[in-house]
């Protein structure tokens, strides 16, 4: 995609951090924005940072709820008529050793950081394939490249996001749709405050 002017960009986790920065950067390049987060106050703060002429809609969304994600995709298409970019950015972390975390804590992170990527990709991909244009951008982490102590389930989900994206990249060749994975290192975002900690 050579330019973002008039392109519809869907960004999950847009209420803070990387999602917020993406929204601001894309708005400055003329993108039309569908911004979602479970934090409505955060979404309002993001909106206040956008250029006044930006076409933007805000959606409260729990990305771990498959039905809600499917409904969100349908609503975005109803509101914008199309989708060109999907940024699977929503997520958090779980800090602590494998021995000390509960299965419920692990499941919470798998749902938030992995199943949300699967749900959103499945929901938006058919629209991109139908128009033969689009890109799915999955936000992984440096922890999706190297296993780190105290981040075992976070490593698990971020490695899985990487594997899913690489597979999609191959499967979508020639379709007009692409998939890419981003592996940020240490970035000062809201993730530390939003993370859960095991004993």
Half-sphere exposure of 77 (CA within 13 A, CB side): 14
Q: Which residue has the tokens 């440096």?
A: 142
Whether 119 is a known active-site residue: answer no
Rounded distance between C-alpha atoms, residue 56 and residue 9, angstroms? 10
Judge contact between 90 and 111, C-beta under 8 A. Answer: no
Check if the beta carbon of residue 154 is closer than 8 Å to that of residue 143. yes
Cβ–Cβ < 8 Å for 116, 90: yes
Nearest to 37 by CA among 74, 18, 12, 19: 12
Q: Which residues contact 40 (CB under 8 A, 6 or more apart)?
A: 15, 58, 60
Q: Which of 59, 119, 127, 154 is catalytic?
A: 154
Could you give the residue numbers annotated as active site? 154
């Amino acid at each position: 995609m050579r330019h973002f002017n008039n392109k519809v960009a869907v960004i999950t986790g847009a209420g803070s951090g990387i999602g917020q920065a993406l929204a601001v950067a894309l708005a400055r390049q003329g993108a039309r924005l569908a911004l979602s987060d479970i934090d409505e106050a955060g979404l309002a703060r993001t909106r206040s940072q956008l250029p006044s002429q930006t076409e933007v809609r805000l959606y409260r969304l729990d990305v771990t709820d498959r039905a809600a994600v499917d409904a969100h995709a349908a609503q975005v298409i109803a509101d914008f008529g199309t989708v060109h970019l999907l940024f699977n950015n929503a997520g958090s972390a779980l800090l602590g050793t494998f021995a000390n975390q509960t299965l419920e804590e692990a499941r919470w992170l798998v749902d938030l950081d992995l199943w949300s990527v699967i749900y959103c990709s499945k929901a938006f991909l058919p629209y991109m394939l139908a128009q033969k244009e689009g890109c799915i951008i999955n936000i992984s982490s440096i922890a999706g490249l190297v296993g780190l102590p105290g981040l075992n389930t976070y490593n698990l989900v971020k490695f899985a996001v990487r594997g899913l994206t690489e597979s999609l990249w191959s499967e979508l060749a020639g379709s007009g749709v692409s998939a890419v994975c981003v592996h940020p290192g240490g970035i000062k975002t809201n993730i530390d405050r939003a993370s859960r900690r095991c004993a």
